[in-house]
Structure 1
Amino acid sequence: MWKDEYKRWKDFSDLDENLSVELEKIVEDEASLEDAFYKNLEFGTGGMRGKIGPGTNRMNIYTVRKAAEGLASYVNDQGMSKRGVAIAYDSRYMSKEFAVETAKVLGRHGIPSYVFTSLRPTPELSFAVRHLKAAAGVVVTASHNPPEYNGFKAYNEDGGQLPPAQAEVMIDFVNKVENELNVEAADQKQLEQDGLLRWVDEDVDTAYMEALKTVSVRDDLPKDLSVVFTPLHGTARHLVEQGLKQNGFNSVHIVEEQATPDPEFSTVASPNPEEHQAFEMAIDQGKAVGADILMATDPDADRLGVAVPDENGEYKVLTGNQTGALLLDYILGQSASIPENGLLVKTIVTSEFGRVIADSYGISSLDTLTGFKFIGEKIREYEQSGEYKFLFGYEESYGYLVKDFARDKDAVQAAVLAVEAAAYWKSQGKTLVEALDTLYQKHGYFLEDLKSVTLEGKSGADTIEKIMNDFREADIQEAGGKKVMAVEDYSTTVRQLVQEGTTEEIDLPTSNVVKFILEDDCWFCLRPSGTEPKIKFYYGVKSTTRGESEELLAAVKATVDERLHAII
């Protein structure tokens, strides 16, 4: 019962003073108390993320200590405690405090921590784990969530987010911590004196910047491109600026109002480059300076949004699928040499556009489950086997990886390559929008969309489960006038071939996802978010013209919406 958990906290004599004050503020609000205590903040395959505040279902020093205790057990179990753990954090409330709390718990177990002196992007943490040869890594971030959120993301010794097998071990250790209030943390000053809390900064920065040079495909392009960049109050400014400068792009205009780290993200409704409103200031500045390309990164700099002028001179924000297609085509089309065993890795909800482009260059493609940890896992697998050479990985949600010196999506790499691709196409007399049209004319007009439905609290979680069960059990024969050819249920890893009446196995890990494959390269997919109280609906269609694809997309969405509304 949540009331028992609340009482346990209320009666704890050494409760943190700030959390005690916050708890007192909601003591008369039973709904808020229930939401704060009705469950433990879940530590899943991607770590944990939640609202900051008192309670077992909140991000606070005690739930962070619980996660850190589980991480310490994991590292010791792997026999890698001497290698230590790299820790980074973003600009959110309590980020540095949570990073230090993590180090204090690890230090109590004799595990050294390498903690950045100031905020750093997630991809640099991924790089740092590998560079420092650490046993694991942690980033304290809630990515693009609202200001009241924070999170704890765990990384393995390869610099990737924990894949399922490792995550299960880690989750089991976290769940074995019976009382988060009793997890012991060592004294910070003593850890510093003993060398168990080591502060890092410029050395890792320098090494990352050197690796970033390898992202460039061509060094013979004109460098007269005008760039506007906004880090959206996050971590990316320095690395993106320096990365572009070392590649010779000096006409870079920073949106200064959004350049300072700010946990409130005060100039945007959401610090998410997927949201067009996040580009409003960049667009105004772009018009003022006549910029060729606008770029925005989320707070922890693992996602990149791009906007470029259209035929009317208005800035068009590209989708993640479109940017990924352009970057992929630039790599394959302009690299001096491409290995025959080169590989594109994307997710099951990412456009088929990338696969078609890769096919046209004779390059293999591979789908993974949603989440960049699965792409990182494949990079490591093929690095060890030598079967394939990783060339590019991306997902529709603005995440890209060009070079595998990091093993998570890297907006800094993507920004450097996007500017270079824009410079190339400018030298050909085209904008990126025109380059995209060229690809559509060659491969077909792919169009995608995403709809997120937010359903908060316990009742919301129950509704999301109801929606997933309904679509799984329904006998859906068509959507938008297109026949259903197959239904892929990743919870059972079974693909039902509807027209043939047969089934086959899906060679991927289990996940709470259902995908409907329609005729003529169309599809839609349902997936509850692993980090937010949302269920996501993904759509993809293909036709010969934009108009036809828009009509087809609307029709498929209407079919899904009709069923959704009948449920909720």
Structure 2
Amino acid sequence: MGNWETAYEKWRTYENLDTLLKNELQSMENNDEALEDAFYTELTFGTGGMRGVLGPGINRMNVYTVRKAVNGLANYLRENAVNVNDRGVVVSYDSRYMSQEFALETAKVLGAYGIKTYIFDKLHPTPLLSFAVRYLGTVAGVMITASHNPPEYNGFKVYNEDGGQITPAEANEIIEHIQQTENELTVPFMEKQELEKKELLTWVGSEVDNAYLDHLEEISHLEENERKAPKDLQIVFTPLHGTAYDLVLKGLEQLNFTNVGVVKEQAKPDPEFSTVESPNPEEHQAFKMAIELGKKNNADILIGTDPDADRLGVAAKDSFGEYKVLTGNQLGALLLDYILSNHDQKLLPNARMLKTIVTSELGRKIADYYGVKTIDTLTGFKFIGEKIRQFDSTGEFFVFGYEESYGYLISSFARDKDAVQAAVLASEVAYYWQKQGKTLHDALNVLYEKHGYYLEGMTSLTLKGKEGSAKITSIMESVRNEPLTSIGGLPVEQMEDYLSGVRTYAGSEEKVEKIDLPNANVVKYKLANDSWVCLRPSGTEPKIKCYFGVCEDSREASEDRLAGLKTDMAGVLNED
């Protein structure tokens, strides 16, 4: 009997198996391929948590894999945190299938260890969870979400006592404790009624929301009298069936943005995300209904948040009067320029802008222009959150952080990307440029003309299952062990291998430098003419991603250069 068959047999013969999971497992009993995929490996707990398809099996999201993860977290906290039982853990959840159930399962397992849990009384955005950790003073936070993944997914994200996603070092310790839990089916837990009776479960109401909104109002750079004045900016907002509806509208109302049209069909939570192909504001199809309403209302700006409200997409009219979605890099540049141009210039020498290694270099150019230092991090907002925490002891201060995948943080009262903050500030930026007779696309052209025509792109290859995982590994080994010498007609000048932590210069075996960042399965090629290409497997989806960046003297030249890079790398990714 193979390993997966042994694991399957343990589940199949477990008398107290959850009824729904038992029925689903029985429906799979003649499908060895499906059973193997559900049991051949344990669902990976990565550097931020775990995410996977719902269903029975050790490679699926279900009450048992969640209980096992919480069991590991509980033992980690008991060893590493102070006053764990009383400070407790705060839990939030989004609109997905089983989200509320998994939130309660988290409390049930923590309660068995005497650890208090706070759970929001209704679904809430991820950034509210980050804020709540800090506001309530808990030892950790848990967010039940699969962000913008398809409806069949859910996930379990862990936050440290600073409100940031757990660091790789913290994750490794939690993983060790999870692995010490031998049987996920028999993890101890306490029932809800007993948790409430022993005051180990507290339901969180509006107090945290109100405190968050007080901080949110302060990110504005408008003068007090202008904050209170009515604004004629026409906004269309869609929460894409997720968690952002209440807080975004309240945040806009605080600044007197009253002309807000909401896409009604997408306003209510819906685990099927039935009106979109994908609830991801990175994908322009998600804006279809917002564009229709925008045309009807003659809107100046369209804003859309993903289901757990940590990512924001924005669209505005282009020179032809058509709504065009800004990339994450473009919106990040506009937000950054607005913040720095309206900041106390005397403070900027100690300010720090944070971005990831696959985020546009336009941000660095803008920061340089204002005398602000840029710090690069690995991909993943947890690294930005970790760096902000370090500033508490260095005298530096955080002024803005972003990543190309539509994640932004304006103020560090939250320590993860925050689409609520970004939605409010993006509306303020649009209002600022509207007063000058410009759209956000016009404003972007102002930045290009000043700093250069920086364009970026990303392609991905989805490779599911066991064979797909092996293919992704093979691609990364190939680009690492047989380095490319040119891409898109440009010679490679440097190769950065973040797994070994080494930067190698082309044509010089002796010139090698250490990369001062944590190890990660990422390879970045830096080319002539300030172009670059970066390859990394996704940490949350069965994909390998390829990122591109170029800067030429004109938009046309940059577009041509970008196309050339994409063509060459498509060949690399699709080689047999």
TM range (shorter): over 0.9
CA distance in 2, matches of 1:260, 1:445: 40
- 1:5-27 deviation line (CA, Å, top 9, x unaligned): 00000011100001000111111
CA distance in 2, matches of 1:196, 1:325: 45
Deviation at 1:497, TM superposition (A): 1.1
Q: What secondary structure, in the 3-state scheme, does the structure 2 residue paired with 1:215 have?
A: coil
Is residue 61 of structure 1 aligned with residue 66 of structure 2? no
Is residue 128 of structure 1 aligned with residue 104 of structure 2? no
CA distance in 2, matches of 1:385, 1:105: 38
CA distance in 2, matches of 1:438, 1:482: 28
Q: What secondary structure, in the 3-state scheme, does the structure 2 residue paired with 1:311 have?
A: coil
Q: What secondary structure, in the 3-state scheme, does the structure 2 residue paired with 1:295 have?
A: strand
Is residue 240 of structure 1 aligned with residue 244 of structure 2? no
Q: What secondary structure, in the 3-state scheme, does the structure 2 residue paired with 1:216 have?
A: coil
Aligned pair partner of 1:539 in 540, 544, 548 = 548
Which residue identity is paired with 2:432?
Y
Which residue identity is paired with 1:471?
V
Q: What secondary structure, in the 3-state scheme, does the structure 2 residue paired with 1:470 have?
A: helix
- 1:262-302 deviation line (CA, Å, top 9, x unaligned): 00000000000000000000000000000000000000000
Which residue identity is paired with 2:80?
Q
Aligned pair partner of 1:548 in 535, 538, 557 = 557
CA distance in 2, matches of 1:73, 1:515: 38
CA contact (8 A) 1:214 1:403 kept: no
Is residue 509 of structure 1 aligned with residue 518 of structure 2? yes
Aligned residues with identical type, % of pairs: 58
Q: TM-score, normalised by structure 2?
A: 0.97
Q: What secondary structure, in the 3-state scheme, does the structure 2 residue paired with 1:245 have?
A: helix
CA RMSD after TM alignment: 0.9
* Equivalence map 1:27-176=2 (5 Å): 27-80=29-82, 81=84, 82-176=86-180
* Equivalence map 1:412-561=2 (5 Å): 412-501=420-509, 502-561=511-570
CA contact (8 A) 1:297 1:305 kept: yes
Deviation at 1:214, TM superposition (A): 1.4
CA contact (8 A) 2:353 2:401 kept: yes
Q: What secondary structure, in the 3-state scheme, does the structure 2 residue paired with 1:147 have?
A: coil
Which residue identity is paired with 1:45?
T
CA contact (8 A) 2:81 2:139 kept: no
Deviates more, 1:537-546 or 1:231-240: 537-546
CA distance in 2, matches of 1:451, 1:327: 25
- 1:176-232 deviation line (CA, Å, top 9, x unaligned): 111100101101111111110110020111111111011111233772100000000
Is residue 260 of structure 1 aligned with residue 268 of structure 2? yes
CA contact (8 A) 2:124 2:244 kept: yes
CA distance in 2, matches of 1:441, 1:203: 46
Aligned pair partner of 1:189 in 188, 193, 200 = 193
CA distance in 1, matches of 2:381, 2:192: 33
Deviation at 1:167, TM superposition (A): 1.2
Q: Aligned residue pairs: how many? A: 566
CA contact (8 A) 2:348 2:371 kept: no
CA distance in 2, matches of 1:450, 1:131: 37
Which residue of the partner structure matches residue 295 of structure 1? 303
Deviation at 1:158, TM superposition (A): 0.2
Deviation at 1:166, TM superposition (A): 1.1
CA distance in 2, matches of 1:66, 1:251: 47
CA distance in 2, matches of 1:176, 1:372: 28
CA contact (8 A) 2:461 2:573 kept: no
Q: TM-score, normalised by structure 1?
A: 0.99
CA contact (8 A) 2:455 2:558 kept: yes
Which residue identity is paired with 2:349?
E
CA distance in 2, matches of 1:505, 1:452: 28
Q: What secondary structure, in the 3-state scheme, does the structure 1 residue paired with 2:392 have?
A: helix
CA distance in 2, matches of 1:29, 1:367: 47
Which residue identity is paired with 1:75?
L
CA contact (8 A) 1:120 1:235 kept: yes
Which residue of the partner structure matches residue 214 of structure 1? 218
Unaligned runs of 5+ in 2: none
Aligned pair partner of 1:385 in 394, 397, 401 = 394
